[in-house]
Structure formats: C-alpha cells, structure tokens
Structure 1
Amino acid sequence: MNAALKEQILTVLAEIPPGRVTTYGRIAAMTEGGTPRLVARALRELPSGHGLPWFRVITASRKLADHPGADEQRRRLIGEGVAFDARGRVAPERLWP
C-alpha cells in the first residue's frame, strides 16, 4: 500500500466521532483507490500506542470483524454507548457518515 493511501485511511479513521462507527467499505470510499481489505490492512499495521479509534470500524453487515481484538473492540464501543442487537449488529443510526 502506498503511503498516500495509508495517510488518507488514517485521516478518515481519526475523524470518526465517539459513539459512532463506520465500515471498512465506507472508509475505502472516502479514499483514492482504497478497498475494504486495504483499510483492514492499514488497521492491522497500526503501531502500538497510536491512539487512533480503530475500534470504531466494523463490517458492512454492521458486526465486528472476527479478529483477536474483537472482545476489546466490543468493550470499547459499549463504553461509548454503542449497543449491539441479539445478532451482534450495531444499529444503522450509529453509522458515520
């Protein structure tokens, strides 16, 4: 992934407000040439202690992706007031933008 695309992804990531979520695809659509997979890759490559709200990014089905940090992600989102339905989905009104 080129540095310009990665910078675009991280810039969008930093803009997601507390209590809201967005999808890998929505972030990709806000970049020049990004794809949901490239967004996921950029998030996986974040350095420790970065401070960016990676946990506010979910799948297009409004669920958490299956990854090692999913339990922490759920905990952080609940801490921001984001609720999950019985199927593990976030309410559509929580989607940003």
Structure 2
Amino acid sequence: MKPVLREQILTILAAIPPGRVTTYGRIAAMTEGATPRLVARALRELPEGHGLPWFRVITASRRLADHPGATEQRERLAAEGVVLDARGRAPAERLWP
C-alpha cells in the first residue's frame, strides 16, 4: 500500500467522532484511490497500542466484519451508545459522515 493512502486512511479514521460509525467503503471514497479492502488491510496492520478508533469502522451492510476483534468491537461501540439491532446492524442515523 502506498504510504500516502495509509496516511489518508489513518487521518480519516482518527476523525470519526465517538458514538458514530462509518464503513470501509466510505473511508475509501474519501481517499485518493483506496479500496474498501485496502482500508481493512490498513486497520489490520495497525500497531499494538495505537489508540485509533478502529472499532468505529463497519461493513456497508452496517454490520461488524467477521474478525477476531468483533466481540471487543461490539463492546466498545455499545459503550459509545452504538447498539446493534437484533440483526446485528448499527443504526443508520449513527453513520458518519
């Protein structure tokens, strides 16, 4: 991945406000050429203890991606007031931007 794309992705990630979520695709659309898969890759490659709100990024269907941190992601979102519905979807009104 080009360093400029990684920087753009991480800058956007840092800007997601508490209590809001966005999608891999929305982040990709705000960059100069990233794809949703590249966004997911950048999040997977975050170093330990980074402090960025990775847990605020969800799939286009407003669900959590299937990954080892999904339980932690659900808990952290709930702590910010983002409660998933019975189908596992985040409320549409919580989408950012």
TM-score, reference length from structure 1: 0.99
**How big is the alpha-carbon RMSD for the aligned residues of Structure 1 and Structure 2?**
0.3
Number of residue-to-residue matches in the alignment = 97
What is the match of residue 44 of structure 1? 44
What is the match of residue 23 of structure 2? 23
Counterpart CA distance in 2 for 1:86 and 1:71 is: 15
What is the match of residue 65 of structure 2? 65
Unmatched tracts of structure 1, length 5 or more: none
TM-score, reference length from structure 2: 0.99
What is the match of residue 34 of structure 2? 34
Task: Determine helix, strand or coil for the equivalent of 2:51.
Answer: coil
What is the match of residue 8 of structure 2? 8
Unmatched tracts of structure 2, length 5 or more: none
**Is residue 2:84 matched to residue 1:84?**
yes
Task: Determine helix, strand or coil for the equivalent of 2:64.
Answer: coil
Query: Which residue type is aligned with residue 15 of structure 1?
Result: A
The 4+ residue runs of structure 1 with deviation greater than 6 A are none
Task: Determine helix, strand or coil for the equivalent of 1:14.
Answer: helix
Identity of aligned residues (%): 81
Counterpart CA distance in 1 for 2:83 and 2:74 is: 9
